[in-house]
Structure 1
Amino acid sequence: MTDSTPDHSTRLDELEIRIAHQDQTIEDLNAAVTAQWKLIERLEARVERLGERVADSEQAAGQADPVNRPPPHY
């Protein structure tokens, strides 16, 4: 039974090390996902603002509904 004690201790140490590394990996991944989510939100807001600017420019140029305009060759 004394032969198995160091083996169990070694296994336990290895498992604790693995858990510590996994915890760090989870924290790193969470930080990466959070940063990406913030970037996506900023980009979505920017795209929305650009879409509004395009719509405003079209209205100012008398092109309120460009989808229903005939192509230039007509």
Structure 2
Amino acid sequence: MIDLEEQLIDVQTRVAYQEDTLAQLNEVITRQDAEIIQLKQQLRLLVQRIDELSQSAAQPGGELVDERPPHY
């Protein structure tokens, strides 16, 4: 009977640790998801800005971004 009781306590202890680990992992995943969303938004803004710069450089009188200065 004591052996069965010890096994039950051991199983309950393991389940408690697993539940704690799952909660910690969930917090990490939630933070990473928010960070990924933020990074995707920043990337979209950067792509949009690059497109705008490319379009303005292609227009007459537009400044070429990659153009080397005349003294080179």
Give the TM bin, normalised by the shorter chain. 0.7 to 0.9
**Residue 35 (str. 1) matches residue 9 (str. 2):** no
Select between 53-62 and 16-25 the one with higher mean Cα deviation: 53-62
Q: Which runs of 5+ in 2 are unaligned?
A: 60-72
Identity rate, percent: 29
Aligned to 1:6: 2
Cα displacement (A) at 1:60: 1.0
Q: What TM-score results when the alignment is normalised by the length of structure 2?
A: 0.78
Tell me which of 54, 65, 68 is aligned to 1:58: 54
Q: How many residues align?
A: 59
Q: Cα deviation per residue 1:26-61 (whole Å; 9 max; x = unaligned)?
A: 001111111111111100000000000000011111
Cα displacement (A) at 1:25: 0.4
